[in-house]
Amino acid sequence: MAVLAQNGYGRSDKIEQGFNNNLIEGVILSPRDERRARLEEGIQQWRQQYGDKTILFDPQFYAATLRTPKDGYLNEYEYYGDNNGLSRTRFSQTKINCYVSQCLDYQKSIQRNLSYITAPNILFDSFSDSWSQIAINMMIESSEYHEKMSTDVPLLISVVFSETSLRDRVAMEEYLDALTELEVAGFYLIVNRTAKFLQPAMDTSAFANFLYFCHVLSLNDYKVIVGYSDWSGFMLEAVGVDFTACGWYQNLRQFSMDRFQPRDGSRRPRKRYSSYKLLYCPLLSPELQDMHEVGILNQVLSGSEYDGIIVNGPASGGRQWTNPVSCFAHWFSLAKLSEIVSLHQQSQDKLREAISIINNAISLYRQLELKGIVTDSSHIDDWKESINEFARIVNWKL
């Protein structure tokens, strides 16, 4: 299992329950959503209670380049609060040294409870724009500063880039050449998605290139952790990613900088069920209820302890299908996919297993159609196309 909780607003006891029920392997902390004292207390308690679980701190420094960000509690952290609202002119080498040292020094103060120290960085939209060069400068400074620190906690470099940047493979490969020169333990990757709402699949070429990006880093013996991965985690793991992450709300499953922008209140989302067999979250009503009524529900259920709530009728069990239960059932499905892929040792075999998972989902969607139940499965075809394109890039036969 290689699933981390992407922490955010509304944590409650979800992390503890995830650990206790063996649903997650660790957590990525969000200072935007936690008062500093509570976050540090949580880190300490998890380390004491759960031993070797993976605990990361995402500095979320990328929000500092927004003019009026909705940045929550980030201002309680000196490395951010002293440096927000940054334009390109605020990234001289002296300034970069300051941003990096403040952020790494803060993490050093809590290092005994962290699995890694995570470098701060900014978002860029193209591997060849000026922001991408600023990002490289911050990575180099982080590597050099960490080397001088008196700490045994290894360093992860944050790389935060737009989905659209991944369409340019030539520029991406040149950027990869620069990354693989860094003497660090690994990378924490975040892709800023173009879709405003949760969309399982990226642009097919972009996702194929992202698989390649992760694969190259893995081949160079870096630890690779991908945030906000949701259903794509099992495919990323197949190409060499060590951990993927997913939270409980939409903005913790798919990353968008809109999360840091002021917005109007939204309606409570309709309840959904996470089926690893479908690689999708159908609505409890009407979608899952319809599957129950035509006698195909058991073929869709993931097999977790939470299925008992809806096995006799999703509609009647809806009241008990709370947000925490939905979160736990989702983590269960992601962990199940990770478990299936990780049964194999070789990357090509893992990717073949990922294709098998996708083909099984396609077959199940066809069975649903024969029963008169039609749901959107376009993301499945997109994933398959991306995997085949990745295989062509690396010259693998699947």
pLDDT > 70: what percent of the chain? 98
Q: What is the pLDDT of residue 69?
A: 87
> What's the full length of the chain, in residues?
398
Same domain, 66 and 178: yes
Amino acid at 335: A
pLDDT > 90: what percent of the chain? 88
In a domain, 274, yes or no: no
Same domain, 102 and 237: yes
In a domain, 277, yes or no: no
| Range of the structural domain that residue 372 is part of | 284-394
Report pLDDT digits (tens) over 250-304: 889 999 998 888 776 666 789 999 999 999 999 999 999 999 999 999 999 999 9
What is the distance in angstroms between the CA of the first residue and the CA of the last residue of the chain? 24
Same domain, 304 and 245: no
Measured over the CA atoms of residue 297, residue 299, residue 305 and residue 306, the dihedral's sign is negative
Residue 6, pLDDT above cutoff 80:
yes
Q: What is the pLDDT of residue 359?
A: 97
Query: What is the signed CA dihedral for 143, 147, 149, 150, rounded to 10 degrees?
Result: 140
Report pLDDT digits (tens) over 78-117: 999 877 788 888 999 999 999 999 999 999 999 999 999 9
Residue 146, pLDDT above cutoff 80:
yes
Same domain, 65 and 196: yes
Report pLDDT digits (tens) over 208-258: 999 999 999 999 999 999 999 999 999 999 999 999 999 999 889 999 998
Between CA 6 and CA 28 the distance in angstroms is 5
Domain count, the chain: 2
Q: What is the CATH number of the domain that holds 24?
A: 3.20.20
Same domain, 84 and 191: yes
Same domain, 293 and 253: no
In a domain, 354, yes or no: yes
User: pTM to 2 decimals?
Assistant: 0.96
- Are the CB atoms for 276 and 337 separated by under 8 Å? yes
Same domain, 10 and 159: yes
Same domain, 308 and 228: no
Backbone φ and ψ for 110, nearest 5 degrees, come out as -120, 20
Residue 1, pLDDT above cutoff 70:
no
Between CA 159 and CA 180 the distance in angstroms is 13
Residue 218: count other Cβ atoms within 10 Å of its Cβ.
19
Section 311-339 average pLDDT: 95
Q: Which residue blocks in 149-270 are alpha helix, DSSP H?
A: 169-179, 204-219, 233-238
DSSP states of 101-134 as a string? HHHHHHHHHTGGG-S-EE----EES-TTSHHHHH
In a domain, 271, yes or no: no
Q: What is the pLDDT of residue 268?
A: 76
Which of these ranges, 32-46, 119-133, 190-204, 238-252, has the smallest mean pLDDT? 190-204
